[in-house]
A and B are shown apart, each in its own frame.
Chain A
Amino acid sequence: MTALLQHIIDALSVGSTYALLALGLTLAFSIMNLINFGYGILLVWGAYGLLGLTEAGLPFGVAVILSVVGVTLLTMIIGRVAFRPFIGAPPITLLITSFAVLQIVQYAAIVAWGEKPRIINYPPAFTDVLHIGALRVPLLEIITIGTAAVVVLVYFVILNRTPLGSKVRAAAELPDMTRLVGIRPGTVQMTVFAISGAIAGVVGVLWFAKSGAITPRSDLEPTLKAFIAIVLGGLGNTRGALLGGFALGALEVLMSVTLPESVLGYEPAIVFAIVIAILILRPSGIAGAKVNPA
């Protein structure tokens, strides 16, 4: 029983990280057809920002806020400079563009921080472990689940309760009509980049608290996880993306518990094989709903 509870908490925590990753990507797809290969590198930049600011002596909380703001701005700049000229192009052109953007932003990280792995000094709240009876719950898991809940809540409030959010939802549903009633596509796109970037900033803080060292090439794993989650949930479907993230987390924990040692190494292959199978059997994802940003 305790073991089961332990696994459920693990799965929720891993799943909420993936759900946030997917949330940051999926809105850009429903508004702009953008599947961002360079999403993981935003996390990396956020983590480097946090590293630099904490090393400069700023309190951790302030550094987190500043780094999230920094990643948001970086995402908006990249979006304005690199992606906006391609909006309206088929998804594949944007996918290649984002792959090219990744090469550039990654090189910037290499120049700025070097190839050597770096480690952020997280406060004890991120590393302590809570003991409840026989249960061992790392505080980081609780922080992750809590943060995810807050971010998702804020996301839905922004999209459903603010004028800007209505514009974004309108643009996702009827892009041409939205233009006709005088909503500028540029405003909508920049809002989407800002939301996407802010989420990347938050996930970056959580991701590297768990995985430890940052290198300029740590971006691939989060990007792949995010791709898997949005494919599982159905491209462009926000609720699906969240569900896809949690499903991926549950799947990973389930596999690590049930698979024999000898097969465990093949976990990434198995996960991707499942993704491809889902792409083929249910192209609209496990949620299978229409495009729905909120």
Chain B
Amino acid sequence: MNLPISFQRDRVPGLRGLAGALVGPLIVAALVCLVAWVVYDSFPSMQIIVLLFGINLVMVIGYQLFVGSTGIVSFGHVAFMALGAYAGGISAMSVTEKSIFLPELPGFLANLELPILPAMVFGGLVAAIIALVVAVPLMRLSGAAASIATLGLLVITNNVLNQATALTHAPQSIYGIPEVTTLTWVLVAVFAAVVISAIYKWSPAGLRSRAVRDDEMAAEASGIHMLSARVWPFVLSAFLTGAGGALYAMLLTAFSPQSFYVPQIVVILAMAIIGGINSISGGLVGALLITALNEVMRRIEGGSSLFGLHLSAPTGISAAVLGVALILMLRWRPEGLFGSAELQLGRDDRRKPESWKGQGLVEAPPGPAVKSNK
């Protein structure tokens, strides 16, 4: 069999190469979405899980866009999800509901009542604007210092959402968001996210970002502006994550700031790292695997029989299993299932890359670690 597809890290130059590189992740997305659609259609009890899975796909693509482009592992993306969920959810809420649940809302928000698509964009934009404001200082940092700073962003966001009762009804849950997220909208969001992410990845700006990721000094020496190579993926990624958060809000309809905090990081992190942090296709597949794993664990929590064995476990086992999966993956295949490779349409005419090794986190490029003071 000689299919016109290939797995490679770099795309073939030229317009055909670009088209092939854009279609590749879309094919993976189509396959993953097909699985989702079949499950959605055949098991009515699984519908909510499939919708959440689709939203997680959007999150993973958004997360991967930033981490894959910059090499900075963010612990703060849940903050953008929260911002998108509150902004998108409030903008979609009907004016009458708002006057009941959130009477202290400022004027323009109180009179806003958006349909699902503008609400998603609104959620994404709010997250993106906040990201733009914080990115300029944050993105000067590298390595573990940057990761801790993104964690700080999450703590700050959580704290502010908890205190801004007029906007969020916190610390209680917010209610009354219309339940309008459907499978169609989720799938539209997934494909849009893949397209945005793939266009960015193969664009000159994306290439510049990855150049800074791989060798900051050499990239800067060749005239690449380090800060903008990191700020834009951060903002774009926040937009996608925020839009995903808005979808999440319009699916669950009620949530509190605690729905978006440190425990939520592990799912997205595991999906992205297990799939391959530098690959869109990898993120999609990673999300599918982790969701399947989570679903099995959820059944075990509820108590179930598997091959005649009765299994049951206290709530929370899925986080522990994700922890084990993360450690095993980082140990044996730190570059993730897909490494940096991307499914692409069109045959790979060039020499095969020697190996995927060296593209993972463990053997990441030397970059200025925090221990610059040594």
Contact = CB atoms under 8 A, between A and B. Distances in A.
B327 A95 contact: no
A283 B373 CA distance: 8
B262 interface: yes
Interface in B304-330: 313-317, 319-320, 322-324, 326-327, 330
Interface in A102-126: 102-104, 106-108, 110-111, 114-115
Interface of B: 73, 75, 137-138, 140-141, 143-145, 147-149, 151-153, 155-156, 159-160, 162-163, 262-263, 265-266, 269, 273, 313-317, 319-320, 322-324, 326-327, 330-331, 334, 361-362, 364, 367, 369-374
A227 interface: yes
A291 B374 CA distance: 6
Contact of B330 (A96, A280, A291): A96
A46 interface: no
A268 B322 CA distance: 29
Q: Lowest 8 A-B CB distances belong to which pairs?
A: A103-B323, A107-B320, A91-B144, A100-B326, A100-B323, A272-B152, A269-B159, A269-B156
Contacts of A267: 159
A279 B145 contact: yes
Contacts of B147: 92, 95
Interface stretch (A9-17, A61-69, A81-89): A81-89
Given A91-B369, A234-B373, A280 B137 contact: yes
A275 B152 contact: yes
Contacts of B152: 272-273, 275-276
Nearest to A102: B323
Given A92-B364, A272-B155, A283 B141 contact: yes
B215 to A, nearest CB: 14
A130 interface: no
A97 interface: yes
Contact of A97 (B138, B151, B155, B327): B327
A269 B160 contact: yes
Nearest to B273: A96
Contact of A95 (B144, B371, B374): B144
A231 B140 CA distance: 16
A38 to B, nearest CB: 10
A291 B181 CA distance: 52
Given A97-B327, A110-B315, A235 B155 contact: no
B200 to A, nearest CB: 22
Contacts of A275: 149, 152
Contact of B148 (A35, A86, A115, A265): A35
B131 to A, nearest CB: 14
A284 interface: yes
Contact of A284 (B149, B269, B319, B373): B373
Given A86-B362, A266-B160, A227 B326 contact: no
A90 B361 contact: yes
Given A234-B373, A272-B152, A290-B374, A99 B317 contact: no
Contact of A235 (B160, B334, B361, B370): B370
Contacts of A104: 320, 323-324
Nearest to A85: B331
Contacts of A277: 137
A220 interface: yes
Given A92-B73, A235-B370, 8 more contacts: A82-B327, A91-B144, A95-B147, A99-B75, A107-B317, A268-B159, A280-B140, A290-B374
Contacts of B262: 220
A235 B373 CA distance: 9
